[in-house]
Amino acid sequence: MLAASVVMSDHPAGSGGYVVVRGSHKSNFQAPASMIDGDEHMEFVYQPETEAGDVVLFSEGTVHGARPWNMDYQRRVALYRFSPPTCGYGRSYFEDGNASWPKEIYSGMSETQKSVMLPPYAIRLDRPVNDGTGRLKVDSRSDAKKQFDKAVFGTKYF
């Protein structure tokens, strides 16, 4: 799984924003909770200095996150994620068809903003997508195909 973060505002040293534990995509060890929480081991957490127009490519398998933003202007990035087909149908593995963040994460978000927070899955599984005007649309398979999948596979998403 590959992510591309297109930087749209400068991120000087110490400004916050994207951070990564370099080399962790090859690690066979779980990151300590104290590192994830930002309490310890910060010497291993790296924040690249970027300027508007830069693109940061990183593996989703790398330990990464964001530090609190402390500049007097808004942090802006466009995040693109690419996943293999084996992850593209992951929605079918969840009982309700969705993996979700804690409800408080969605507080105050529009439906369009919520759609960006969805995990990766193929649009053929009823993924809402922005139609370019700020409205969401869903390109759905026919009800007959969904009923067939339910009868054969026990779920509307196989």
Whole-angstrom Cα distance, residue 103 to residue 67?
A: 22
The pLDDT of residue 109: 86
Given this model, what pLDDT does residue 125 score? 76
Report, in angstroms and rounded to the nearest whole number, the Rg of the chain calculated over CA atoms: 19
Mean pLDDT per 10-residue section of the chain, whose length is 158 residues: 93 94 80 83 93 94 90 94 68 55 80 78 76 82 83 74
pLDDT value for 93: 53
**pLDDT for the residue numbered 32:** 84
- Per-residue confidence (pLDDT) for residue 153, from 0 to 100: 79
In sequence order, the β-bridge partners of residue 130 are: 136
Across 106-128, b (16+ Cβ under 10 Å) vs e yields: eeeeeeeeeeeeeebbbeebbbb
Per DSSP, helices labelled H in 12-142 are 33-36, 85-88, 111-116
Domain at 1-82: CATH code:
2.60.120.620
**Per-residue pLDDT at 33:** 84
pLDDT value of residue 6: 97
User: What pLDDT shows up at residue 17?
Assistant: 93
Give the domain ranges of the chain: 1-82, 90-158
